[in-house]
Amino acid sequence: MRVGIVGGGQLGWMTVLEGRKLGFEFLVLEEKPDSPACKVADACFSYDKVDEFLRWCHVVTFEFEHIPDYILEKVYPVALPSVEVLELKKSRIKEKSFYKRMGYPVPSFRIAQGKELPSLLRDVCLPVVVKRDVMGYDGKGQYVVNHPQDAQVIATSYPHEWFLVEDWVDFAMEFSIIGVRDKSGRVLLYPPTVNFHQQGILLYNKTTSLEVKEAQDILHHLMEDLGIVGVLAVEFFYTKDGKVLINEMAPRVHNTGHYTLDGCYTSQFENLVRAVTGLPLGSTSLKCPAGMVNILGLGLEDLDLHFLLSVEGAKLYWYSKSKKPRRKMGHINVVGRTEEEVEYKINRLLEMYHVLEEK
Amino acid sequence: MRVGIVGGGQLGWMTVLEGRKLGFEFLVLEEKPDSPACKVADACFSYDKVDEFLRWCHVVTFEFEHIPDYILEKVYPVALPSVEVLELKKSRIKEKSFYKRMGYPVPSFRIAQGKELPSLLRDVCLPVVVKRDVMGYDGKGQYVVNHPQDAQVIATSYPHEWFLVEDWVDFAMEFSIIGVRDKSGRVLLYPPTVNFHQQGILLYNKTTSLEVKEAQDILHHLMEDLGIVGVLAVEFFYTKDGKVLINEMAPRVHNTGHYTLDGCYTSQFENLVRAVTGLPLGSTSLKCPAGMVNILGLGLEDLDLHFLLSVEGAKLYWYSKSKKPRRKMGHINVVGRTEEEVEYKINRLLEMYHVLEEK
């Protein structure tokens, strides 16, 4: 069996490393041949070789949503999850409107063009979060607006572009759940994690035994409504007044599920491969409490590996990408006997940032 | 950092897959370019390219003991563990004599040439196990002799070859422990496993909470006596009269430690890489009881993957080798909440052999 992956980033890299254990071959469609997944794949194809890529693949999945339309059209017949789900992810307005239409709980939002923002924002409660409709991930294209005049710069820069204007959510907690669904419609959910972002990028997360039944039901229904075959991650807000709201979803393996490599019976990556190749899903049970710390914008040479790897149960995943400010360069998984032990270890690992700030 | 591995089998394959997570590059020295480790390494070199291989490697380790002397001489300066330990493994007589000389408990043995066996065996209690001095692994070159005349065929075939003649051990249990030792001399031991062989080849094993303090002390001392930097696996007999005897050792990652990939905080493969590259060792603690079933002599087409992978917590590792009778083709790891649960799952997995026998 040969599995194609569109996108060559670290999510693809881990999918290949995990999926190889099952004896499958992996082909990657990616413009940059030095990207992480290309280094471990059996072959890597650029977009202009998409026809050849497809001739070899039995099934194609995604590790990235922002794929040109002509590529999506080509991979359509063998793509899992379906290309329709990806279309939804290409537009924040389409995504949020879908949730609203289907009755899922989301923060209140409006839709406006850039030039309309200053007048619109005079009539709404501030702050709001203004999000570009397209190409949004890792906090990119998002602006917190506290005063109507703050929107003037957006209006001037992008007068004709569409924006989602979302009420500011005063959340008590951000959490996510990852689900996997196979071809027969069987759904398994991973344990929820509490997530901590920094400037819109996930900094760390950890598993929690908190009851989140409402969110689990939402994820389960959403996987069915979207007809997902593969993995779906949903990020939620838990508001201070006790409401669960969908923040966003990703129809692929997700940064908040990296802990599954060491914490769960079967990783999200292996379960993606199992789902799209028609194998039975693996158990999503937790072996022990777990967590993850992202390494943002640091090179291997900036890290004190002796310190980091001497934290008991800490495992480094290094993506071997070129260093850029705030880029996800790698992550460290931790496991422990209790949630408190995992939290203690995460705090120790986060010291790597403090140490560097003091330099 | 570039790590060289001599040998391209499944042990090297798993070492590369695990070691890549740390961001290292892996080069493999192997005569067969289609071997498992070559498929995931950054580069693969044949023996005649050993000089080039060494020019690129910062450190070299082994996944196989039976390496030509001229290769061992070349890799000597950068090899971990040291080449001396491998020399010991190239001869069963040298290995057993070393244990005896150092005061480690081993079954009683004699040394003889093939032609001397029939007369020797008239004077000893039978049965005995006659083992060729060289090239012995996976039960190869071993003969259980019940009657002196059984040795005649060995005497005729190999008159001048040396043999180890070992007392038959009436064991209650075979078990093994794997240890890892870093450059500073720090030693960590993995939990012991009970091992079940079939015709000299490991069929399955599982972790045990049995107390094996004496064996742990033996392994600890042996790692120090041999100056191991890397992994050392020791297989023991536990005799019916309560004695612990060394059966044999392997100065490398070991089939009885495959369970560590899913059962332990850090796998034996990652810890080998950490040890030889000078990183701190990872915890060898068990996350949960675990076990492993080898897939011997079967192709992917012979397996009912839907059945095997629907066993909760079962994970397939498929080496993608060409099928040969009794060859190690892959393995399945299992984890569970209790030792009993693991045992139940192993028994379910072993049904794959019964199903095939009935065909």
The closest of A217, A120, A222 to A166, measured between CA atoms, is: A120
Helix A268-277 vs helix A10-19: crossing angle, to nearest 10: 70
The confidence score (pLDDT) of residue A70 equals 95
ipTM, 2 dp: 0.91
pLDDT at A353: 87
| Interface-testing mutation among B269, B308, B315, B332, with chain A (most A C-beta atoms within 10 A) | B315
Concatenating the DSSP letter of every residue in A233-248 gives EEEEEEETTS-EEEEE
Whether the link from the prior residue into B81 is cis, omega within 30° of 0, is yes
pLDDT, mean over chain A? 94
Q: Among residues of chain B, what percentage have pLDDT more than 90?
A: 86
Evaluate if residue B268 carries a pLDDT over 60: yes
- Quick: pLDDT tens for A265-308: 999 999 999 999 999 999 999 999 999 999 999 999 999 999 99
Cα B76 to the center of its chain, rounded Å: 22
Residue B213 touches chain A, beta carbons under 8 Å: no
Q: How far apart are CA A320 and CA A304, in angstroms?
A: 16
A69 part of contact set with chain B, CB < 8 Å? no
Is the separation of the CB atoms in A245 and A169 below 8 Å?
A: yes
Q: Does residue A348 belong to the interface with chain B, where contact is any CB pair within 8 Å? A: no
Question: Which amino acid would we find at residue A181?
Answer: R
* Nearest residue, CB atoms, B280 vs list A265, A285, A306: A306
CB-CB: which of B23, B317, B335 is closest to A265? B335
Give chain A's domains with CATH numbers. Answer: 2-79 (3.40.50.20), 108-167 (3.30.1490.20), 171-358 (3.30.470.20)
Instruction: Judge whether A195 is annotated as a binding position.
Output: no
Instruction: Say whether A40 and B20 touch across the interface (CB within 8 A).
Output: yes
- Partners of A165 in the β-ladder: A110, A130
How sure is the predictor about B89, in pLDDT bands with cuts at 50, 70 and 90?
confident
Closest residue of chain A to B308, computed from CA coordinates: A280
pLDDT at residue A259, as a whole number: 98
Q: Do A265 and B20 touch (CB under 8 A)?
A: no
Chain-centre distance of CA B12, in angstroms? 12
pLDDT for residue B123 = 86
Q: For A89-146, what is the HEC assignment?
A: HCCHHHHHHHHHHCCCCCCCEEEEEHHHHHHHCCCCCCCEEEEECCCCCCCCCEEEEC
Other C-beta atoms closer than 10 Å to the C-beta of B224 total 12
Chain A's closest residue to B285, CA to CA, is: A313
In the predicted model, what is the mean pLDDT of residues A327-352?
Answer: 96
A8 annotated among ligand-binding-site residues:
no
Looking at residue A69, its pLDDT comes to: 92
State how far residue B226 is from chain A, nearest Cα, in angstroms: 25
Average confidence (pLDDT) over B85-101: 92
Phi, psi of B159 (to 5 degrees): -60, -35
Strand pairing partners for B145?
A: B128
Cis bond leading into B191, ω under 30°?
Answer: no
The minimal CB distance from A335 to the residues B20, B287, B300 is found for B287
pLDDT of B136 > 70? The answer is no
